[in-house]
Each structure stands twice: as C-alpha cells, then as structure tokens.
C-alpha cells in the first residue's frame, strides 16, 4: 500500500491521533533539549509517543498497548506536575490539563477504533 493510499483513511481520526502523538513526541524532545534538568522521563515519553504515532500511521496492532502506556504515563506526569506547581504557573497548569484531556480523548478513540488497527 502506497503513501497516497495510507493517507486516505475512511475517517481522519486515526490520522489525527497519529499527528497528535508525533507532535507531542517532538515537543517532548524540544523540552528535553532546552532544559538542563536531566528530565529523562520526558525523553522516554517522547520516544513512546513517536513510536505510537508510527504504529497508528502504519496501523499496527501493537499500537493499542502503546496508546494505553502513553495514557498512563501522561496521567501520572500531568498529575504530579499539577500537584507541584498548583497556583504558581497558570499557563503550565492549563497546558497540562489540556494535554491530559486530549491524551485521554485520543486513547478512548483509538480503543473504540481498534478493529481498524488490525490487518
């Protein structure tokens, strides 16, 4: 199947989820590069997010497990960030809540469309 045929999904949800995870992975690596705090967990989240984006784009069956792993990691990461910075930085709080909500929306969507991931 060529690239042109892969980009013609029946619905754009899987492609949107793939783009979301790819953008999140790149953002994680950018944050890792500009901070000197040694945030290894951000790098791990970036690697798994990029692998998830690849799996969704290629419609691999293992992607569902990767999506759930990312959702759990993001939930723990966002909850700890919100706990430690509550009231001090509103922009980061809003970004974490938006990241958490969008991750769970895409997790539920991919779980609902899991039949499209199997060849």
What is the reported pLDDT for 39?
Answer: 81
DSSP code per residue over 24-90: HHHHHHHHHHH--S--HHHHHHHHHHHHHHHHHHHT-TTHHHHHHHHHHHHHHHHHHHHHHHTTT-H
What is the reported pLDDT for 117?
Answer: 72
What is the reported pLDDT for 40?
Answer: 87
> pLDDT tens digits for the chain (119 residues)?
565 555 555 568 888 999 999 999 999 999 889 987 778 889 999 999 999 999 999 888 899 899 999 999 999 999 998 998 888 889 989 999 999 999 999 999 998 888 877 65
pTM summary value: 0.84
């Amino acid at each position: 199947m060529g690239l042109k045929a892969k980009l013609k999904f029946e619905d754009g949800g899987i492609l949107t989820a793939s783009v979301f995870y790819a953008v999140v992975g790149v953002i994680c690596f950018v944050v890792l590069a500009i901070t000197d705090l040694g945030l290894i967990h951000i790098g791990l989240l970036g690697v798994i997010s990029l692998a998830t984006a690849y799996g969704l784009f290629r419609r691999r069956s293992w992607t569902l497990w990767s999506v759930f792993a990312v959702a759990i990691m993001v939930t723990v990461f966002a909850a700890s960030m919100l706990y430690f910075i509550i009231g001090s930085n509103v922009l980061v709080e809003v970004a974490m809540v938006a990241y958490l909500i969008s991750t769970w929306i895409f997790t539920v969507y991919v779980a609902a469309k899991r039949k499209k991931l199997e060849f």
